[in-house]
Each structure stands twice: as C-alpha cells, then as structure tokens.
A and B are shown apart, each in its own frame.
Chain A
C-alpha cells in the first residue's frame, strides 16, 4: 500500500472517532513525520488530555506561531505525566510555543542527539506550588543540546534541567518561580550564559548525584548571567534532592569537577551567592563505589557580587548557621572545604588546578565552613572555626574551552 493511501485511511479513521481532533491530528503527525518535515502548530490555545509523543524520528521541526501565540494547555491532563515526550530521535528543533500546566514535566527529551529548544516556554500558571510538574524543559541522556530564548516558570524541581547529557548550551533564557532555575546534573561539557535567573529558590545548580548511569559531571562554564533575588521559599515536594537547596541561593555547585564561573552578576540572593559543596552536605549515605562526592577545579573569577544587608533563610540548617555567625552580612561565596583527597600532593596540599580558586571578584565575601574539621560541631557555629580568609583561594586556572555543538540549526 502506498504511503499516501495509507495516510488517507488513517485520517479517515480519526475523523470517525472521538478524541479531541487537534490532539489526535498532532499525535498522528508526530507518528507519521518523515525526515525533513516541519510540523506547524497554529496560533491559538489547545487543550491536550494526554502526553504527546515522538519517537525514533530524524530532522523534524515542530514550530508554533510564537511563544505566546501557540499554547498547548494540559490543565485537564488525564493521561501520562509529560506534555511532550521525545525519545530516540536525531536533530529535532522545537520552537515558538508554550507548554502549560502539565501534571509532570513540560517537555522531556531522552536518548536524542541534537535537540534545540528555541523560544519555547514551559509554565505553570498557578504560581509556585508543590503540585506543579517537576521539570520545565527536560533533556536527559541526550547529546548536543541547545536551549535558547526559552523560559520556565513554576517548576517544582528545575525549570531548565539538563541531566546525564553531553555537549550542552543553555543561553539567553529566563527562569523564575522555579525551585531551581537552571540545573545541569551529571552532565559533561556545558555552557550556561546570558541567562536571567531570578526569583527562584536557587538560580543555577550544577550537581553530580550518585547511583546514576552517567557520572562524573565536568567541564561546566557559567558566565554572563544575571542571577538575582533567588529567595523563593523552597516548594519542592519533600523527599527530592532540590528540596535541600536553601532559599536564597544564587549558584550552587555540588560534587562536580571543572567548573568555571565568571563575569556573572550575582545579587541579592540572601543565603548564598555561590556555594561550592561536596555531596556530604546532603548527609545521605553513598553506596555507589564509582561516585565521586567531591568538588575539584572550581574557578570563580570576574564576577560582580552585590548583597543587601539581610538575614539568610531561617528555614534551612545552613541558613541558621550562617545567620548565627554572620547575622545580616553573609559572605557571598561559601565553600564546604572538602577538596578531593585523591588530588593531594605528598605534603597534603591540593595543587592550584584542582582547588577552589577565586580571582578578581567584585564585593565577594568568602567563608570556608571546613566541614571536615567542624563536622561534629556542625550546629555549633560559635565553636566552629570558619576561615573567611580568601587568600587561601588565591589562585587561577586554565579556562575551560567553549562547548561546540554538532547541530544543524
């Protein structure tokens, strides 16, 4: 049977049954798409009841009439958790539309090489709530990921979340009212720049977690971002790792190697402008023998810090600790003092290229919580000896190279 007649038969079948025609037609297009096809979404607001999915396709563009012109609304979703699910594809471009109020993640993309989100928004319109979906735009186990001119509003985990992926650019996007604005997790080679992360619980998180397939996240650059007022109460459903992020976090790096943070403006994040911590901070047991819980090679330079005099969060142990010690004048850069012992020289010193290096940051206060020595006295800030001498981080490192994506745009 020729493809044309086959398509005609299919379309006749759809007309004869009753699931909302826009949804059914779009799902059919996603199934029948051929390499090179562009699937066009008209201007308007469309109610979708179940997850839309695309699988095993190459060179497909899904294009709406504009971020605020084409809205796929999942407010009445009854089936599946995601809005749009894309798996096992190559070179997919999503642009100019909004996914709204999904039960779970907005757009999840898995096992895909070459995925572009351009001018795409994921949002939950009822404000920040624990019942919102977890991730806004969610590429996981992908390579060559580009997110640009996009937005996420209201994700109860991370707005723009890239997990277990390689070769990533997240740029020129805006995120607010999420728990984490942008999160790069267990990923290798990522550039995060020109973004505006504001009014989240944490602005930008770079994490490496145990028990996952892709481990050893590294080579992450965070630059030219404006990261401000990330003071939102943490509304993640309890039990999630981001639920541990203290409200008032600008940038948080956990257990990752080779991170360069530069030329950002980081202001009025009340608890921690930038935190560099090991996985030990979570107080979770580590059962994954291949997992490295330490940070190493963290280079923070040429950033501008600003901070109004205000108390850190009192809803979090670290915030309380900082408040007791520093009151309204919390340092901007907070280090847990846990370098990777594997990198120590014979004399016990960590060479500069494996350390935390701070250079030429404007208005940056610093504190080393030194949790290896103070661990037993964690809740006794008056006894604990914290170093605020940033000279211990007076070093520089070789810049990390820019990410090159292999994407036909």
Chain B
C-alpha cells in the first residue's frame, strides 16, 4: 500500500483544473479498439512511462512495461450523452502501477467539486444518473471496485496484469490534439518502444461497434475484452474449461456444444454454452444478458446489460451453422 498516495492530485498527472483531464507532458492519452463494458461509463485512458525507459515488444507481441509505468483510467458519464456540451461527471480514476513488487491497482473517487479524487481501497457504491444517447434517464448504483476486485479481473497466473494495452488492441488510429495518428506509431515516435516491428505486420483487434468489420471479428473482439481476462488458461475462470481469448481456435473451448461445469443458476435450463444457430438456447447469451448477480457474466463491473454487445453475440451465434459441432 505504500505506493498509493492519498489523493490523485499528489501524483501530478493532470494540469489544474484536474477535471479537464489534460495530462502533463510525458503522459500520453490512448484508446483501445474494443472496450470492456462498464455500465455505459465513458473512459479516458493515459499511460506514463518513466523518462528514458522503454516498453519492449516480446516475440509473441505481448508488451513488457518498465517498472514505474502507470496506466490511468478515468470513468465518467456525460450529463446528457446527446448534449455533451452540458458537461460530464467524473466518477473514479483507477491507477495500475508497475512497481518492483509487481503491478498494483488503486481506485480514486472524485469529489463533488470535481477538483480531486481520493483513494478508496475498499471501493464504494454511489448513485449515478445520466441521460443516454437515446434520451433515456438512467440511474444506477455505481460500484467502484476495491483493490481485490481490481485484481479479480486483472489477475493472470496469480499476478496483477494490465488487460487492454496489447499490441492488437492499440493498433488503431487515435484522435490526438494535432490530428489522427496510429497509436503505435505515435508511441514509437515518442520513443517509448524499444523494438516495434512494421505496423503492417502487427495484429489488430476489430472494433466491436464498427460495422465495416466482419461479424466474427467484432464478436470475438467483444468476447475477448469482456470475458477472456478471466476465461483463459491462468485466469480465474479457467476452472470452467471455457477459454474465450481472441486467439482461441478450439471450438469446444469457446463453448460450442460444451456443457457447463459449475454454472449453477446460470444455465437457465440450457445444456450448452453455445448451441450453433440457437442463441436463445445458449448459456453464453443468457448470462451476458442477465443482470442477476447469481447469473450474469461478467460477475462484476456492471449492473446493466450491454444491449449492443448482447445483440452482437446473438447475431454471431445465430450465424453459426447448426451442424457446427
């Protein structure tokens, strides 16, 4: 805990006023191709790599971040998504810091005045409301995860790890203050990569909400970011035998005609995680749609259904040939 400072302002990541979320020099904003759903919260992401330190790219395209790297992620809602000029409310900022003791995660909760955020290692729950893009008033009990819950998703082989910042998720254009640019090229030009190969040869995750991408690419990208942090070998849901990472090629491991192991009520009387062509008989879709804590997947981090994500998975299962055992 000695790494955690009591207030977000103590780190000096942002210019004053902090609510504008303008990073100081040396901190880069970024985005990822497909995001984890967090009750429709908007997210701002930043990375700080210590001066003169570099990120090295491994042979399998995983990234090794130097000690001292910090990921900063701020969660917010627009007052009215349809009228962003009405402003936004910052809810929390999560830090993921690479230290000599490994990666550590700390949540900070923004104050009413939006002038600073305060460390909350036990997390919190608070009422949050906003108007969504369809003009509907939304109102939920928002949960800020405690440090254990952070690890609940970010754990891999018993160690805390970043989830989103992978080559394939970063390999896309981002709107910088001086225009669009591929993020990997931007990072390269900022000198924080030690050994990036030709962009053309690097993998790229589809954007789940981009209809120019293939249905399979979009669905697998959504399932990867929403499910595979747990559902992979070395992840906490490996006990299920269901492995959902983008690279997974084994259909049975992906859930096709696979009976559940310890799904409890999560089955809804269905026998298999995915029945090709039959989304309404597939446990996967049922659990993605549910908001019952004893049924829903992921288990944490949402109270609402991601309607767009569920629809995408429905289409994807529907499109599988029925004989696809």
Contact = CB atoms under 8 A, between A and B. Distances in A.
A408 interface: no
A81 B158 contact: no
A159 to B, nearest CB: 13
A134 B119 contact: no
A210 B148 CA distance: 31
A318 interface: no
Most chain B beta-carbon neighbours within 10 Å: one of A55, A130, A163, A241: A55
B125 A19 contact: yes
Given A141-B239, A156-B265, A213-B239, A27 B122 contact: yes
B264 A285 contact: no
B1 A237 contact: no
A17 B124 contact: yes
A130 B261 contact: no
A157 B233 CA distance: 24
Given A55-B148, A103-B292, A213-B239, A80 B300 contact: yes
A106 B159 CA distance: 25
A13 B267 contact: no
A85 B149 CA distance: 10
A111 B159 CA distance: 12
Contact of B264 (A19, A88, A156, A209): A156
B143 interface: yes
Given A163-B262, A239-B270, A81 B294 contact: yes
Contact of A285 (B119, B121, B233, B257): B257
B66 interface: no
B33 interface: no
B148 A104 contact: no
Nearest to A28: B122
Contacts, number: 146
B88 interface: no
Interface string B236-261: 10110100000000001100011111
A148 to B, nearest CB: 23
Interface stretch (A1-9, A270-278, A358-366): A1-9
A402 interface: no
A87 B149 contact: no
A391 interface: no
A88 B259 CA distance: 27
A55 B121 contact: no
Contacts of A130: 265
B261 A241 contact: yes
**Size band of the A side of the interface?**
35 or more
B236 A240 contact: no
Contacts of B181: none
B141 interface: yes
A212 interface: yes
B151 A28 contact: no
A38 interface: no
B293 A81 contact: yes
B262 A237 contact: no
A88 B265 contact: no
A234 interface: no
B251 to A, nearest CB: 9
B269 interface: yes
A54 B147 CA distance: 10
| Interface residues of B, dominant DSSP | loop
Given A17-B124, A53-B148, A163-B239, A239 B263 contact: yes
Contact of B252 (A30, A54, A56, A287): A287
A284 B262 contact: no
B150 to A, nearest CB: 9
A392 interface: no
Given A31-B147, A53-B149, A77-B293, A212 B241 contact: yes
Contacts of A110: 236, 239
B304 interface: no
B60 interface: no
A213 B264 contact: no
A13 B119 contact: yes
A104 B147 contact: no
Contacts of B124: 17, 19
A134 B141 CA distance: 26
A363 B137 CA distance: 69
A225 interface: no
A261 interface: no
A111 B158 contact: yes
B90 to A, nearest CB: 16
A59 interface: no
A9 B148 contact: no
B265 A31 contact: no
B308 interface: no
Contact of A104 (B119, B152, B253, B294): B294
Most chain A beta-carbon neighbours within 10 Å: one of B120, B123, B148, B268: B148
A24 B293 contact: no
Interface string A86-108: 01100000000000000111000
A125 to B, nearest CB: 16
A30 B148 contact: yes
A25 B325 CA distance: 50
A111 B4 CA distance: 26
B1 A240 contact: no
Interface string A63-84: 0000000000000011111000
Nearest to A20: B125
A212 B239 contact: yes
B228 to A, nearest CB: 16
B299 interface: yes
A211 interface: yes
A213 B233 contact: yes
A134 B262 contact: yes
Contacts of B15: none
Contact of A134 (B121, B238, B264): B264
Interface in B286-325: 292-294, 299-300, 325
B264 A133 contact: yes
12 contacts: A27-B146, A78-B293, A88-B158, A103-B293, A104-B264, A131-B294, A164-B239, A210-B241, A237-B263, A237-B265, A241-B261, A287-B258
The 6 closest A-B pairs by CB, nearest first: A239-B267, A134-B264, A211-B241, A103-B294, A238-B269, A53-B148
Interface of B: 1-2, 4, 6, 118-125, 141, 143, 146-149, 151-152, 155, 158, 233, 236, 238-239, 241, 252-253, 257-271, 283, 292-294, 299-300, 325
Given A104-B293, A237-B265, A285-B257, 4 more contacts: A81-B293, A85-B148, A134-B263, A209-B261
